[in-house]
Structures are given as structure tokens and as C-alpha cells.
Structure 1
Amino acid sequence: MDPETSETACFEAGVKFGALYHQFAGTPVSPDTADSLARAMEESIENQPFCESVTVDVLTDELADAIDHGYTELTGRFMEVEIVVEQDGVEVVARMEMEDGYPLMRVADVRA
């Protein structure tokens, strides 16, 4: 059985999240560099097929609280992300937010 278009679009959203998180986790970041890092993350992932938009919000208040020596490493606890994928008329909105201490990535909406 072939997957439905909505299923392949959800899979594509997962691919984008995997690339975003594992490409940028561990990157040195500070409140001063957070915006430029967020833009680089967005632009990098938007290059992938079917990706309509990526919004990365680095939580600078939480970031500032975690800094010991001028910077810290980027992890899921310091960012909220929304990725929109469009494939063959199906739009998937996926988000990453902290839930119970874990950066949970999930499908928020599927629209045909």
C-alpha cells in the first residue's frame, strides 16, 4: 500500500526537524548571536524540498540564564521552532517546544 500524501508530507516535516536539530545542536550561542543563528537555521532548512517556511525563536532569556562563560551550547530547551511543509496540495505545520523537560517535535496541523 502506498502512503497517503498527508503521510509523506508529515514524514517530510520530520526529516526537516531531524536535520535542523542535529545540525545545530551544540552550536555555541549567546544572546548577542541568537538572532543570526536563528536566521541561519531557518534559511538552511528552507532549502530542503517541500519546505515552505521555518521559524526559529531562540529563547534569549533562558539562554542568558544558562551562560557561564560568555556563551552556551544550543539545545532544544533554548528554542521554539515551527516548520511548514507543502506537498501536492497538503500543508503540514509541525512545532518543537519543551514538554516535561524534553524538546518535543510534533505535527500541529494537516490541511488539504
Structure 2
Amino acid sequence: MTPTERETACFEAGIKFGTLYHQFAGTPVSPESASSLGRAMEEAIENQPFCADVQVTMRTDRISEELAGQSAEYTEFTGRFADVEMTIQYEGTTVRTSMAMDGDYPMMRVDSVEGE
């Protein structure tokens, strides 16, 4: 069975999230370096096929909370430190996705699928 255009577009979104999360997990990050890490994440993922837009909002409040009371000046990046929105365009289908915390877990989800 050949995947539909919508299924392929959603698959592409999943690939982008897997790459974003696993490529950058563990990267040293501080409140001061967070914005440059966010831009690097956006630019890296936007290079991939079918990626129309990526917005990474770094949660410096959460990074600062993590570092409070510690002598370290940085921590390791996890999904807790970013909110992400992505738009994937595959042929006639547009998939809008997001990643945000759901309890203690960074939940990646398909928010809408438009088109074919």
C-alpha cells in the first residue's frame, strides 16, 4: 500500500522532530547561549526537505530554574527548555506541528493537516 500524501507529510514532520530533538539533546546551554542554540536548531531543521518553517522558543526561565543553587554555569539541553512549532509542506499538504511539555515529557504532536 502506498502512503497517502497526508501520511507522507506527517511522516516528514516526525523525521524533523526526531532530528531536532536527538541532534541537540545534551548540548550545553545557558540562559546566555539559549537564543543562539535556538537559532541553530531552526536553521539546521529548515535545511531538510519539505520544511517550510521552524520556530524554536527557548525557555530561559526553565534553564535558569535548573541552574539555581548550582555552581555550574550551564546545563544540558532537553525538550523542557524549548517550545517548538514546525510547518511541513509536502506537495499539496501542509502539516503544522508543535512540541511543548506535557507534565514531565516533551510531547511532539501534529496540530493540523491541511490539503490533499
Name the TM tier (shorter chain).
Answer: over 0.9
CA distance in 1, matches of 2:92, 2:17: 21
Could you tell me the TM-score, scaled by structure 1's length? 0.98
Instruction: Give the structure 1 partner of residue 91 of structure 2.
Output: 88
User: How do 1:29-68 residues align onto structure 2 when only pairs under 5 Å count?
Assistant: 29-67=29-67, 68=70
Asked if 1:16 is matched to 2:16, the reply is yes
Instruction: Give the structure 1 partner of residue 7 of structure 2.
Output: 7
Query: Structure 2 counterpart of 1:96, which letter?
Result: M
Segments of 5+ residues of structure 1 without an aligned counterpart are none
CA distance in 2, matches of 1:89, 1:35: 33
Instruction: Give the structure 2 partner of residue 74 of structure 1.
Output: 77
Instruction: Give the structure 2 partner of residue 102 of structure 1.
Output: 105
The RMSD of aligned alpha carbons is 0.6
**Deviation of the 1:100 alpha carbon:** 1.8
1:62 match: secondary structure: helix
% identical equivalent positions: 56
Runs of 4 or more, structure 1, over 6 Å off, are: none
CA distance in 1, matches of 2:62, 2:20: 20
2:73 match: secondary structure: coil
Query: Structure 1 counterpart of 2:95, which letter?
Result: V
CA distance in 1, matches of 2:48, 2:61: 30
Could you tell me the TM-score, scaled by structure 2's length? 0.94
Query: Structure 2 counterpart of 1:57, which letter?
Result: T
**Deviation of the 1:52 alpha carbon:** 0.3
